[in-house]
Chains A and B, each alone.
Chain A
Amino acid sequence: MSNIANKRQTSGVDKILRVALYTVLLIMAAVYLLPFIVMLITSLKDVEEIRTGTLLSLPASLHFDAWAKAWSGACTGNSCGGISPYFLNSFQIVIPAVLISTLLGAINGYVISLWKFRGSDLFFAALLVGCFIPFQVILLPMARTLGLLGIANTTTGLVFVHVVYGVAFTTLFFRNFYQSIPSELVKAARLDGAGFFTIFYRIILPISTPIIVVTIIWQFTQIWNDFLFGVAFSGFDTQPVTVALNNLVNTSFGGKEYNVDMAAAIIAALPTLAVYVFAGKYFVRGLTAGAVKG
């Protein structure tokens, strides 16, 4: 429908409209960027400048001390290693959790859309409820379960929790995507003697790239940004970066070092930001390909 605008661009009114359109878009962009810019500017100032200057006043000279401190020198309690060790913890949790939950979601979606059995739709409905359960509810029983499984306060335990509560969303995504695949495709393949996994591997997976990208981005963001599970289920040496960030901004020595807080906040957000900036295109493309249907 973009050609609508194109065709009529000749008239003067449309030109004005177009200028207005760009103005609105750019103003909105500025509004969206504002908090980030403020964070960035603040992180580059020294404490004195923050106190005397305004939000948007640029730093007189660039100070990267806050960044260095946030990364490797800021203290929480009596450990002064910044947030870098927790950064690694987060990756150790996020990578396996994203891969496992995506894989499970793909298989579930494949079954629910193309290998329906009695009760599979009902189960899907039941699973969807899992997307919505307020996570505070499950903290205590989950703690008990993790204890029984012997993986309490470990990285494995956190991966497990994230997989359990992520699989509802991943299944939803894949199911909606596979819904548009004609079931004849599977039938034909079965007549040719292909089995369950062969069809999945040979036919379904190759066309799933857009939705895999969407799911991975979604899961990566969700799990990376999780705070509640991180604080409740991690051990003292397996805390993810969000918990460390919260510790850091809630800890102050003498005065509040807003520049360090902001630098740490940006560092903690960098991986997900990078994913959105570099893979955002594929995200929207993947959504177009069917994730938002139904």
Chain B
Amino acid sequence: MKKIAFGLTTVALSLAAATSHAGEVEVLHWWTSGGEAASINVLKQEMEAEGHTWKDFAVAGGGGESAMTVLKSRAIAGNPPSSAQIKGPTIQEWGDLGFLTNLDDVAKAGEWDVILPGVVSETMKYDGHYVAAPVNVHRVNWMWANPEVFRKSGAAIPTTWDQFIVEAKKIKAAGFTPLAHGGQAWQDATLFEAIALAKGARFYNSAFLGLSDKTLRSQDMIDVFTTFKQMREFVDDGFSGRDWNIATSMVINGNAAMQIMGDWAKGEFTAAGKKAGVDYVCYPAPGTSGAFTFNIDSLAMFKVEGKEKQAAQKDLARLILEPTFQETFNLNKGSIPARLNMPRDKFDSCAHSSMDAFLASSTTGKLVPSMAHGMAVNSMVQGAIVDVVTNFFNTPSMTPKEGVDKLARAVKASM
């Protein structure tokens, strides 16, 4: 009897909760592939448990290109969604235009300043105020490998790019595709920045944050381009336009040996039921152990009309930083939680290594923002760099020297 009464009270309470501030949130995002969709679904369920309505506005394709069009079209129409997946310097651009709402009260209640690492909280703030909530921290400089393929072709996991080339030749000779890659501009750039990072974090920062002309034209940069071009021969013929997760599935299925890709790739391994350390292994991209290229996904909150909508938006921001969500989301997505001091027992070895590297690199200065994923520079400069990189990779006749020259000129023109 007591139990029933208790049950009734909870029902009544939850009903009351539902009616008191039942609002709706419209969330614009491009998390559409397997692991991503499962992850965002967690947030949806939590919001619905709070009694809110979740309007899922997923626009797939092209690293969010279509989604950004939708966002701009809606912002300019004066009807922005409550929340949208934007990140890095783009948050500042939207903040400049006055579209983002202030989340300071939620942040204060949740002690965001304490629980978030400095590099994360800085990105989430515009003009000193929180305007976005981080969902995760991705490490981009990962290499995913299928140990079975390595065993069959008698190759060893490479730890430098020079060694990579040696091993990749063995793998190719054994009839496998050494490098699973998709010919999309941002994937080319992901590979490129991993090679550049092997030249050291100082070089990386000077080139992609400082945009120093001297570094961009240096011999080191020419070396980077040379290595990058060599990767072209380790890619299969069907790579053009291939999605990243299709490339990942080549590693999963044992058709390809390695993929250089951020830890969202792990979400695909997980979704396919594979175990880290057994079916696949993760290593830092060659020459970048100890360094950490970060890519922080976040949901920025837009100014919306209506008390209920605003309340729902605040709840969304709060829920994103709750440990339960951070844990489930990141287990699905392959990334590590944005907040510190989370229990780590449910995460696998790759995630542990990611967490350790994140903490370690933040003290050694080897924690760098990802250029390919729009964390380092604004979309103009990023676009200019990516254009040169992808064009270089796909033009057999272009020499590294020409590539470097083009890069330096393109960066200058876009500043």
Given a CB threshold of 8 Å, the question of whether A touches B is answered with: yes
Give residues in A with beta carbon < 8 Å to B: 75-79, 139-140, 143-144, 146-148, 152-153, 231-233, 235-237, 243, 246-248, 250-256
CB–CB A147/B33 < 8 A: no
CB–CB A143/B60 < 8 A: no
Task: With both chains docked as a complex, state the minimum distance between the C-beta of B244 and any C-beta of chain A, in angstroms.
Answer: 10
**Closest B residue, CB atoms, query A75:** B37
CB–CB A253/B77 < 8 A: no
CB–CB A147/B58 < 8 A: no
Contact (A140, B37) CB under 8 Å given A76-B60, A231-B66? no
CB–CB A232/B243 < 8 A: no
The verdict on B74 contacting chain A, using a C-beta distance below 8 Å, is: yes
Contact (A246, B60) CB under 8 Å given A77-B40, A147-B79, A256-B246? yes
Distance of A153 Cα from B70 Cα, bound (Å): 10
Cβ contacts under 8 Å, B60 to chain A:
76-77, 246-248, 250-251
Distance of A147 Cα from B74 Cα, bound (Å): 8
Contact (A78, B40) CB under 8 Å given A231-B69, A253-B34? yes
Q: Which of A78, A147, A243 contacts B44 (CB 8 A)?
A: A78
Task: With both chains docked as a complex, state the minimum distance between the C-beta of B153 and any C-beta of chain A, in angstroms.
Answer: 22
Give chain B interface residues in 168-189, CB to chain A under 8 Å. none
The verdict on B31 contacting chain A, using a C-beta distance below 8 Å, is: yes
Q: Mark B57-83, 1 if CB is under 8 A from A, else 0.
A: 111111000100110111011110100
Task: With both chains docked as a complex, state the minimum distance between the C-beta of A194 and any C-beta of chain B, in angstroms.
Answer: 45
Cβ contacts under 8 Å, B37 to chain A:
75-78, 251, 253
Cβ contacts under 8 Å, A140 to chain B:
72-73, 76
CB–CB B246/A255 < 8 A: yes
Q: Which of B58, B79, B243, B271 contacts A77 (CB 8 A)?
A: B58
Distance of A237 Cα from B73 Cα, bound (Å): 16
Task: With both chains docked as a complex, state the minimum distance between the C-beta of A117 and any C-beta of chain B, in angstroms.
Answer: 36
CB–CB B77/A146 < 8 A: yes
Contact (A144, B77) CB under 8 Å given A77-B40, A247-B61? yes
The verdict on B93 contacting chain A, using a C-beta distance below 8 Å, is: no
Distance of A253 Cα from B57 Cα, bound (Å): 18
Q: Count A/B pairs, Cβ under 8 Å.
A: 105
Cβ contacts under 8 Å, B271 to chain A:
253-254
Distance of A183 Cα from B383 Cα, bound (Å): 58
Task: With both chains docked as a complex, state the minimum distance between the C-beta of B157 and any C-beta of chain A, in angstroms.
Answer: 24
Task: With both chains docked as a complex, state the minimum distance between the C-beta of B92 and any C-beta of chain A, in angstroms.
Answer: 21
Most buried by B among A148, A247, A255: A255
CB–CB A143/B55 < 8 A: no
The verdict on B333 contacting chain A, using a C-beta distance below 8 Å, is: no
Distance of A139 Cα from B72 Cα, bound (Å): 10
CB–CB B77/A236 < 8 A: no
Enumerate 19 A-B pairs (CB-CB under 8 Å) in ascending A order.
Answer: A77-B31, A77-B40, A77-B60, A78-B37, A139-B73, A140-B76, A143-B72, A147-B77, A147-B79, A148-B78, A152-B74, A152-B78, A235-B57, A236-B55, A246-B61, A247-B32, A254-B245, A254-B249, A255-B246
CB–CB A252/B245 < 8 A: yes
CB–CB B34/A79 < 8 A: no
Give chain B interface residues in 261-280, CB to chain A under 8 Å. 268, 271-272
Distance of A252 Cα from B60 Cα, bound (Å): 10
The verdict on B226 contacting chain A, using a C-beta distance below 8 Å, is: no
- For the complex with contacts A247-B59, A251-B32, A251-B60, 13 further pairs of A-B residues with Cβ separation under 8 Å are A76-B32, A77-B40, A140-B73, A143-B74, A143-B76, A144-B76, A152-B74, A231-B59, A232-B73, A243-B59, A246-B66, A250-B60, A253-B34
Cβ contacts under 8 Å, B272 to chain A:
254
Contact (A143, B73) CB under 8 Å given A231-B59, A247-B58? yes
**Closest B residue, CB atoms, query A231:** B66
CB–CB A254/B268 < 8 A: yes
Q: Which of A146, A248, A252 contacts B246 (CB 8 A)?
A: A252
**Closest B residue, CB atoms, query A140:** B76
Distance of A152 Cα from B40 Cα, bound (Å): 26
CB–CB A152/B69 < 8 A: no
Cβ contacts under 8 Å, B79 to chain A:
147, 152-153
Q: Mark B226-266, 1 if CB is under 8 A from A, else 0.
A: 00000000000000000101100100110000000000000
* A-B interface, 5 closest residue pairs, ranked by CB to CB distance from nearest: A77-B58, A147-B77, A152-B77, A236-B57, A253-B34
